[in-house]
């Protein structure tokens, strides 16, 4: 067994000593069987949240009503979720109430896809009642049970299916696929925040193209914010090839290809429930991309864009124009590093200096002068040294 499970195995042992069952489940077991890196190790147990809290001294309540307690153990935190069944689904969303149960099999049965319904005990033995390993081998995403029913219980599972296509480069099994085509409209009932999380995972996945193509084919795209009337433009986004873009950069690429009017960008990103901070970041890169599509970088534009935006912009420019030069980023970095100053506050003079030199009270002129000095420094017209700047000012003033 790999280290992440070995480290957590004593937790399972403790729960068993107290007379309950406990297993590794979900994404970590799936990714382990795929030989992928695993991030968080999820644990499922027959013990109720209160029973878990009585076993471990350090716990945090995160979602007791859903059966989840976080246990702090050896400086790590682990989500421990009580076996549960989910009956009584309301409005195609999460179940109205969860019922804690003592049976692992029933817990696995309520999970979304067979590849996510595999459990492993602390000795590394696999419990796989729905043939998840077989699906892993065939690289297939199939619901546990009848797809139509499972998507009607919780429509978010449709987005999850497609994001796993992107992350794992798997295909979707045929009856699960038909249900995607039939029930996309149920996504209207799902909170955008949840859809957004899955969509961003989809964007970041290595098989993004295929996954987006499925959103188009099944017409699920129609139920995602701002996509309804944009099939052709979305297709152009799908057809782009790239690697190594950050999620923020992918949003920029998407709005670029959707060809949104400037005023519509913020409402679009808000509709996806992105944070204002993220939206501002996306808009900044977008503006520089628009600039870059018509200009080469200058010392001045590099100074105002700053290195992170320069990199993001240049990567996107390369994707859009296919004029990528892999050495480009290094060259740009060197050029940026050679700027005499990177920030305004690195200038060797202040507004107070100006007021003293000119024997004038403050006013808009100070800001204007500072800006023209700043620009002259950036493009190398004058050195960033108080005396030089003063002489330069006096010369300018005379002429």
Q: Binding site: residue ranges?
A: 27, 30, 40, 42, 111, 154, 157, 160, 163
111 binds, among Mg ion, ligand ATP, none (CB under 5 to 8 A by kind): ligand ATP
Q: Is residue 31 exposed (0-12), middle (13-18) or buried (19+ Cβ within 10 Å)?
A: middle
Backbone angles phi, psi at 312, to 5 degrees: -60, -50
Decide if residue 156 touches ligand ATP (CB under 6 A): yes
112 binds, among Mg ion, ligand ATP, none (CB under 5 to 8 A by kind): ligand ATP
Binder of ligand ATP out of 107, 154, 173, 200 (CB under 6 A): 154
184, 188, 190, 196: CA torsion to nearest 10: 80
Q: With beta carbons less than 8 A apart as the criterion, state whether 25 and 42 touch.
A: yes
156 binds, among Mg ion, ligand ATP, none (CB under 5 to 8 A by kind): ligand ATP
Binding site for Mg(2+), by residue number, is 40, 42
100 by DSSP, 3-state: which? strand
Backbone angles phi, psi at 89, to 5 degrees: -75, 140
158: its two tokens: 């449709």
- Rounded Cα–Cα distance for residues 292 and 304 (Å): 13
- Rounded Cα–Cα distance for residues 87 and 96 (Å): 8
Backbone angles phi, psi at 333, to 5 degrees: -65, -45
Choice between 143 and 384, CB closer to ligand ATP: 143
Choice between 59 and 81, CB closer to Mg ion: 81
Choice between 43 and 310, CB closer to ligand ATP: 43
- Rounded Cα–Cα distance for residues 192 and 187 (Å): 9
Q: Kindly state the DSSP code that residue 222 receives in the 8-state scheme.
A: G
CB of 85 to ligand ATP, least distance (A): 11
Binder of ligand ATP out of 112, 173, 200, 249 (CB under 6 A): 112
Q: Which residue is nearest to ligand ATP (CB)?
A: 27
129 binds, among ligand ATP, Mg ion, none (CB under 5 to 8 A by kind): none
Kindly identify the residues of this chain, within the stretch 129-148, that bind Mg ion according to CB under 5 A. Answer: none
Binding pattern to Mg ion, positions 16-35, x when CB under 5 A?
-----------x--------
Decide if residue 26 touches ligand ATP (CB under 6 A): yes
- Which residue shows structure tokens 């038909």? 178
45 binds, among ligand ATP, Mg ion, none (CB under 5 to 8 A by kind): none
- Which residue shows structure tokens 């919780």? 154
Cα angle vertex 342, ends 340, 344, to 5°? 100
Q: What is the total residue count of the chain?
A: 399
Could you give the residue ranges of the DSSP H alpha helices within 169-275? Answer: 174-183, 192-204, 208-217, 231-239, 247-258, 262-271
Decide if residue 111 touches ligand ATP (CB under 6 A): yes
CB of 168 to ligand ATP, least distance (A): 10
Size of the site for ligand ATP (CB under 6 A): 10
Binding pattern to ligand ATP, positions 33-62, x when CB under 6 A?
---------x--------------------
Full DSSP string of 281-332: HHHHHHHHHHHHTT----HHHHHHH-HHHHHHHHHHHHHHHS---TTHHHHH
Decide if residue 157 touches ligand ATP (CB under 6 A): yes
145 binds, among ligand ATP, Mg ion, none (CB under 5 to 8 A by kind): none
CB of 214 to ligand ATP, least distance (A): 18
Cα angle vertex 386, ends 384, 391, to 5°? 100
> Given the rule CB under 6 A, which of 152-160, 219-227, 242-250, 264-272 is the region that contacts ligand ATP?
152-160
Size of the site for Mg ion (CB under 5 A): 1
107 binds, among ligand ATP, Mg ion, none (CB under 5 to 8 A by kind): none
Binding site for ATP, by residue number, is 27, 30, 111, 154, 157, 160, 163
Decide if residue 225 touches Mg ion (CB under 5 A): no
344 by DSSP, 3-state: which? helix
Q: Which residues contact Mg ion by CB under 5 A?
A: 27
Q: Which residues contact ligand ATP by CB under 6 A?
A: 26-27, 42, 111-112, 116-117, 154, 156-157
């Amino acid at each position: 067994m790999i280290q992440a499970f070995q480290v957590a195995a004593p937790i399972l042992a403790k729960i068993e000593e107290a007379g309950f069952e406990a297993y590794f489940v979900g994404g970590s077991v799936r990714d382990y069987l795929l030989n992928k890196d695993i991030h968080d190790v999820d644990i499922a147990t027959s013990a109720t949240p209160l029973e878990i809290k009585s076993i471990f001294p350090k716990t945090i309540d995160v979602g007791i009503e859903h059966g989840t307690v976080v246990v702090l153990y050896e400086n790590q935190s682990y989500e421990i979720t009580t076996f549960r069944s989910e009956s009584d689904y309301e409005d195609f969303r999460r179940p109205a109430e969860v019922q804690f149960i003592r049976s692992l099999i029933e817990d696995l049965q309520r999970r979304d896809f067979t590849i996510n319904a595999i459990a492993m005990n602390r000795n590394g033995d696999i419990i796989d009642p729905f043939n998840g390993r077989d699906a892993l081998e065939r690289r297939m995403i199939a619901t546990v049970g009848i797809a139509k029913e499972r998507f009607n219980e919780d429509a978010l599972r449709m987005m999850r299916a497609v994001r796993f296509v992107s992350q794992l480069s798997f295909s979707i099994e045929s009856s699960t696929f038909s249900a995607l085509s039939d029930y996309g409209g149920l996504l209207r009932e799902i909170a955008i925040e949840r859809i957004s999380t899955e969509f961003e995972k989809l964007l970041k996945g290595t098989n993004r193209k295929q996954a987006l193509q499925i959103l188009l084919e099944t017409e699920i795209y129609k139920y995602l914010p701002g996509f309804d009337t944009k099939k052709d433009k979305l297709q152009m986004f799908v057809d782009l090839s790239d690697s190594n873009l950050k999620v923020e950069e992918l949003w920029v690429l998407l709005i670029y290809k959707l060809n949104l009017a400037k005023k519509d960008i913020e409402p679009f990103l808000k509709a996806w429930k992105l944070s204002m901070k993220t939206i501002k970041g996306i808009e900044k890169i977008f503006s520089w991309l628009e600039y870059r599509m018509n200009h080469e970088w200058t010392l001045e534009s590099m100074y105002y864009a700053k290195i992170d935006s320069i990199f993001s912009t240049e990567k996107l420019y390369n994707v859009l124009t296919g004029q990528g030069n892999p050495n480009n980023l290094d060259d740009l970095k060197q050029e940026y590093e050679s700027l005499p100053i990177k920030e305004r506050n690195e200038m060797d003079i202040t507004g107070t200096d100006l007021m003293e030199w000119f024997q004038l009270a403050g006013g808009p002129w100070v800001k204007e002068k500072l800006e023209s000095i700043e620009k002259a420094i950036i493009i190398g017209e004058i050195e960033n040294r108080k005396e030089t700047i003063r002489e330069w000012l006096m010369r300018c003033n005379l002429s």
